[in-house]
Amino acid sequence: MSPQKRFKNVQAQNRTSQGSSSFQTTLSAWKVKQDPSNSKNISKHGQNNPVGDYEHADDQAEEDALQMAVGYFEKGPIKASQNKDKTLEKHLKTVENVAWKNGLASEEIDILLNIALSGKFGNAVNTRILKCIIPATVISEDSVVKAVSWLCVGKCSGSTKVLFYRWLVAMFDFIDRKEQINLLYGFFFASLQDDALCPYVCHLLYLLTKKENVKPFRVRKLLDLQAKMGMQPHLQALLSLYKFFAPALISVSLPVRKKIYFKNSENLWKTALLAVKQRNRGPSPEPLKLMLGPANVRPLKRKWNSLSVIPVLNSSSYTKECGKKEMSLSDCLNRSGSFPLEQLQSFPQLLQNIHCLELPSQMGSVLNNSLLLHYINCVRDEPVLLRFYYWLSQTLQEECIWYKVNNYEHGKEFTNFLDTIIRAECFLQEGFYSCEAFLYKSLPLWDGLCCRSQFLQLVSWIPFSSFSEVKPLLFDHLAQLFFTSTIYFKCSVLQSLKELLQNWLLWLSMDIHMKPVTNSPLETTLGGSMNSVSKLIHYVGWLSTTAMRLESNSTFLLHFILDFYEKVCDIYINYNLPLVVLFPPGIFYSALLSLDTSILNQLCFIMHRYRKNLTAAKKNELVQKTKSEFNFSSKTYQEFNHYLTSMVGCLWTSKPFGKGIYVDPEILEKTGVAEYKNSLNVVHHPSFLSYAVSFLLQESPEERTVNVSSIRGKKWSWYLDYLFSQGLQGLKLFIRSSVHHPFPEQRA
């Protein structure tokens, strides 16, 4: 103990000799001292851990010691005491230990603050006390107000004042309420005069300022200070906050690269603050974040037109403030009750304030804010949407790297921008009109490579509209690229068309069931919409048939095509929309005669779903009896039955060329297949042949030659079970539904 004490005495001498300027040195010295004690504390803690009782007793003892210490300080220094220094040191040590370990209760803080600022003890003691005032959970507002009142008396030294302000800034979040403190705004503001205090007071004011605190005379005072002291970062930050609240009074533009505006007041208490935050995690509400981080202001700009592509979120107080003189009463009322965007943090907040939300000054900024996207989604206010529309269309047009020839170096940025838009569209499950307009303009110029995935995703989010209207603007251009590009491009186009169909269907099924939507995009009948969807499906059918020919029946492509039809076949049941469109023969027969089992399996599944949908439609027709306009024509049923017959012929009855497929017998003779009439079924179909062989080998592994024709009778059903066990669920469903039972709709 004694060497340390001597060390401290030296420090104390230092302090007195150097006066207030030695602040930094004291700080470092204190740290040096603090650190070992801290580590000792921890190690002690580690030893004690297994012995719970002991620790408890220890806590109790500590508590008593703390009470004594606080009592000692409260009474004030006892004059002419022999071992005054020693006792003081002991008590100080106790307080410091407890404070850093567990924090102090708010009553203790109240007393200690009082002592530290009343100047009962010397400067050194005050400093030490202030440094260890760490709350266990919260600090009561009253104690802060009392402490501030001591500042007015002028009993404490400059350095103590500085330390107090630093402490106040650091502990600001832990003060339970701030109304009373805000009433002292004028006092704090006046303290700006003091050069030493100014940076810390600025920081405090930055935390404290509310809109009503910003007054013209204060603005002028700050500007005077600025004139006197020059460009000080802390002053800049406060001024920019003032500008934020009162743009009609003050204007400031922060330099671009500046990040730190305040001297870090917290680093004295860094570890302690973390601990307090951890203790507080539970019940106490998270303090509100700073409203305006200085980083919010103007990022580095590339072009003047786009600071970054998406503007920063800012309330529109600007425009409102502008017409001050002409401001109507309702505007005034609106303003007082309005909710600044910067405080919007959570969805419940949005719901509570949705009627009085201050809209951003630049509507484009909503793109980065999911809460505001919600708002945009439900708002029916035309100006809001129009502002967003204009911003987005123009930005897309300006940023698009192929629309304006000279833009190629910003490809990355444009890709990111498109990604942001797509994220927003997915989030809202709705396409933007601006994107549609952008597609119309830019698609004819697109090379099919730039931002391909983003661009095709935009296509899939085109809002529902009349197909025949969109076709010449969009799909005809897309088709040109489709036919001239690689198979991968074809697949991705089909993929995005599938998504487009899905989005349209979802939208339509919602629209039908929520009829009262007043201004739905299209004032049209359900029949019109269905017509449009069916045209889209037919169009994709045409695209895929041609693509199959171009890519010589690629299996890969066929997968994507069948994926599309997996959506199509289920429209009636999944989306409750009266539409069944079958696939074109070019797709059906390619799939049926494919060499790939998974294709055939998928085809079986689709046929099964078609069957379900058609049966359901038929049933509904019979139930309703009324002739609605959406009765499917018998043509659809006939077509389906024709497909079904071919399929059953090919997979089951081994009569492929009877009813279904017609091939000239002469050609069939030429193939040289002896028994062509019976050569296609679930055993002989080329895509199943390997299954048949491995089935037979499984039965009799030692067999040298296998005769697949031996699969019949009982073996046939074992074979089927084997196929089903191989994961051919589509086939299973198809055979269960279409083969084992009579087909009721065949006679339809």
Tell me which residues in 560-589 interact with other proteins (CB under 8 A): 584
Torsion sign across C-alpha atoms 154, 160, 166, 167: negative
Residue whose CB is less far from other proteins, 417 or 695: 417
Helix axes 2-18, 23-48, angle to 10 degrees: 160
Count of residues of this chain found to bind other proteins when the rule CB under 8 A is applied: 81
DSSP string, 575-617: S--S---PPPHHHHHHHHT-S-HHHHHHHHHHHHHHHHHHHHH
CA dist 277 and 649 (Å) reads 74
Instruction: Kindly state whether residue 394 participates in binding other proteins, applying the rule CB under 8 A.
Output: yes
For other proteins, the closer CB: 433 or 630: 433
220 binds other proteins (CB under 8 A): yes
* Interface with other proteins (CB under 8 A), residue from 124, 223, 275, 573: 223
Binding status of residue 515 toward other proteins by CB under 8 A: no
- For residue 410, which of 396, 390, 389 has the smallest C-alpha distance? 396
* Nearest to 116, CA basis, from 150, 145, 87: 150
- Our CB check for other proteins shows the closer of 408 and 718 to be 408
Contact 445, 401 (CB under 8 A): no
Q: How large is the C-alpha radius of gyration of the chain?
A: 39
Point out which span in 20-28, 98-106, 220-228, 718-726 binds other proteins (CB under 8 A): 220-228
User: Which residues 417-476 are close enough to bind other proteins by CB under 8 A?
Assistant: 433, 436-437, 440-441, 444, 465-469, 472-473, 476
DSSP-assigned states of every residue in 668-688: HHHTT-TTGGG--STTTSHHH
- The full DSSP string for 155-191 is -S-HHHHHHHHHHHHHTGGGBS--HHHHHTHHHHHHG
Interface region with other proteins, contact rule CB under 8 A, candidates 8-16, 79-87, 283-291, 385-393: 385-393
Touching other proteins, residues 8-27 (CB under 8 A): none
Say whether residue 524 binds other proteins (CB under 8 A): yes
φ, ψ (nearest 5 deg) of residue 327: -60, 130
Q: Quick check: 299 binds other proteins (CB under 8 A)?
A: no
Contact set for other proteins, span 124-183 (CB under 8 A): none
Q: Which stretch binds other proteins (CB under 8 A): 147-155, 165-173, 192-200, 254-262?
A: 254-262
How far is 509 from 514, CA to CA, in rounded Å?
A: 9
Query: Segment 304-323, which members bind other proteins (CB under 8 A)?
Result: 304-305, 307, 311, 314, 318-319, 322-323
Q: By CB under 8 A, name the one of 293, 521, 665, 744 that touches other proteins.
A: 521
Q: Is 612 in the site for other proteins (CB under 8 A)?
A: no
Judged by beta carbon, residue 236 or residue 602, the one nearer other proteins is 236
Give burial (CB, 10 Å; 0-12/13-18/19+) of 217: exposed
328 lies in the site for other proteins, by CB under 8 A: no
Can residue 324 be called a binding residue for other proteins (CB under 8 A)? Answer: yes
Q: 231 or 351: whose CB is closer to other proteins?
A: 231
Any idea which residue has 């500046």 for tokens?
Answer: 258
Report the site for other proteins in 537-556 (rule: CB under 8 A): 538-539, 541-542
Distance, CA of 333 to CA of 718 (rounded, Å): 81
Nearer to other proteins, 83 or 330 (CB): 330
Contact segment (CB under 8 A) with other proteins among 90-98, 179-187, 272-280, 535-543 equals 535-543
CB of 476 vs other proteins, minimal distance in Å: 6
Q: Is 212 in the site for other proteins (CB under 8 A)?
A: no
CB atoms within 10 A of CB 591: 26
Residue keyed to tokens 């709709």: 745
350 binds other proteins (CB under 8 A): no
**Residue 383 found at the interface with other proteins (CB under 8 A):** yes
Asked whether position 403 contacts other proteins by CB under 8 A, the answer is no
Residues 109/139, Cβ–Cβ less than 8 Å: yes
389, 402, 489, 589: which one binds other proteins (CB under 8 A): 389
Q: Give me the least distance between CB of 320 and other proteins, in Å please.
A: 8
One residue of 480, 484, 576, 671 binding other proteins per CB under 8 A: 480
Minimal distance, residue 412 CB to other proteins, in Å: 21
- Within 230-249, the residues that bind other proteins by CB under 8 A are 231, 235-236, 239-240, 242-243, 247-249
For 162, 360, 384, 559, 670, the CA distances from 335, given in Å and listed in that order, are: 38, 14, 18, 58, 88
Residues of span 73-92 touching other proteins by CB under 8 A? none
For residue 360, the SS3 value is strand
CA atoms within 13 A on the CB side of 574: 15
Pair 537, 575: CB distance under 8 Å? no
Q: Minimum distance between the CB of residue 464 and other proteins, rounded to whole angstroms?
A: 11
- 513 near other proteins (CB under 8 A): no
Residues in the chain, how many? Answer: 748
- Among residue numbers 613 through 642, which ones bind other proteins (CB under 8 A)? none
Residue 504's nearest CA partner among 534, 449, 463 is 463
Closest distance to other proteins from the beta carbon of 330 (Å): 15
Shortest Å, Cβ 477 to other proteins: 10
